[in-house]
Amino acid sequence: MKFSDLSIDPSLQKSIARMGYQDLMPIQEAVLPTLLKHTSCVVQSRTGSGKTLAYGIGLEQDLVINQHDPQAMVLAPTRELSMQIEKELSLLGAYKKVKCVTLIGKQSFDMQKEDLSQRTHILVGTPGRVYDHMLQGSFSYEQIKYLVLDEADALLNTDFIERMEWIINHVQPETIVLVSATMGESVQNFVHKYMQDAPVIRVDQTNHQIDSYRILVANENKPEKCLEVLQKELPDACIIFCATKDRVDALYQYLSLYDVSVMRIHAGMEQSQRKETIQAFEKGNVRILIATDILARGIDIEKVNLVINYDKPDSKTIYTHRIGRSGRIYEEGKAITFIEPGQSYDRSLPEWNNDVSLEPWRFEVLKTSHRKIENKDAKVREDIMKLYITAGKSKKIRPGDIVGALCAIHGITMDDIGVIQVQDHQTFVDILHGKGDIILKNLHQVKKKHVRVERAKSEE
């Protein structure tokens, strides 16, 4: 089935087409009939299956764009996953002028609160920061009808459950969509309590595109063995999972000694560093990423053809999420788990055996990354430019003033103006239909105040 066959908002169809999607993935075909009816459902599907686009269409199809207060909320267990979801939902809703706000820790609470004071359609965030904003009264949640729990098995663990239940009991959504790769006891208990009559839709449950292997190796020999595996496998992109941030740092330092194209990510890093690292890996600028389990939750990075469990995961659930970074939908992958003497393991896993000789050229390959990634948002961004304007609330600028100034420019209409974010000292505005350059050349004043207009840095 093709997306063009769906009876959905033409503006969503336009975004989907420009992102390069044509055929529905299995999960989308299975769940969209339910989601478009705004019926609560439980979706069990592996990560990388296209679930965000599926529930995104359900969320955005019937949004009332002129309504001020948020109408939907998506909760995710990590900051990285929240940012990824917000990015995809914003791209999907670009032509419908959907405004999404990300509510996560390690970012300015006051800036988020300021964003929420303006028209907002969808909230995406982690339970802790969403809870804090609700306590502070940062937004009205009376109009939120649609709640998505993404990576629910992590959201419903003991760290989050109290705040999760508080949020749900206060929001009281009409529709709940629960998405999870695994269905542990905490998920089943939640479903029994809040979603008793909801259908359970299971899609693509096996990691059938991933070949899994084991290597028996002593802890002290792991760095050398890891380098050997990398030389023999020559992955285009590889994620190596370690148990702690100290072990991530140690392996990173070891591989760096050999000038391997490698970066690292863990909770001890600043949020800006973590974001830059993921972006570099997504773009194919680095070949190998060493991580703690922070990256095992929903981060959708294409073309990862090897996952190495440098440290054996503590549970089957963690193992499922880790190896799910490889072998994404319609792709093939490989997972190799290091087993230390005395550790239990799945004896059905074949032993890794690669007789390739370690010729010098193989080592040289690991020093660079030439991975070609198709940027699905590039075509949308070609048509939509986010502009930065040096005027905001401090100069008594309101969204209506921005609209008036833009529409006064020859060739610009209301239809060309997307989401507007007026902050204290600046304003960001999306210009649609490839007309951003017209604004750059012709906008010099807003409300008779001189302004400077630039392409927003995030767009460069």
Confidence of residue 359 (pLDDT cuts 50, 70, 90): confident
- The pTM assigned to this predicted structure is 0.84
Q: Is the dihedral of CA 431, 434, 437, 439 positive or negative?
A: negative
Euclidean distance between CA atoms 301 and 284, whole angstroms: 10
81 pLDDT higher than 70: yes
Stretch 335-346: mean pLDDT, rounded? 94
Confidence of residue 376 (pLDDT cuts 50, 70, 90): low
Euclidean distance between CA atoms 174 and 165, whole angstroms: 15
Confidence of residue 137 (pLDDT cuts 50, 70, 90): very high
141 pLDDT higher than 80: yes
Q: What integer best gives the mean pLDDT of the chain?
A: 92
431-453 tens-digit pLDDT? 999 999 999 999 999 999 999 99
CA-based nearest residue to 338, from 182, 237, 224, 181: 224
Q: What angle do CA 187, 189, 193 make, to 5 degrees?
A: 115
Confidence of residue 13 (pLDDT cuts 50, 70, 90): very high
CA distances from 4 to 9, 11, 32, 449 (A): 11, 12, 14, 45
Domains of the chain, start order: 3-203 (3.40.50.300), 210-365 (3.40.50.300), 384-459 (3.30.70.330)
Confidence of residue 130 (pLDDT cuts 50, 70, 90): very high
460 pLDDT higher than 50: no
CA distances from 229 to 80, 285, 286, 353, 444 (A): 28, 21, 17, 10, 58
pLDDT at 318: 86
294-334 tens-digit pLDDT? 776 656 787 899 999 999 998 888 888 888 888 766 678 99
425 is written with which tokens?
């000292």
CA-based nearest residue to 69, from 174, 177, 145: 145
205 pLDDT higher than 60: no
Q: What percent of the chain has pLDDT over 70?
A: 95
pLDDT at 146: 98
Q: What angle do CA 159, 162, 166 make, to 5 degrees?
A: 140
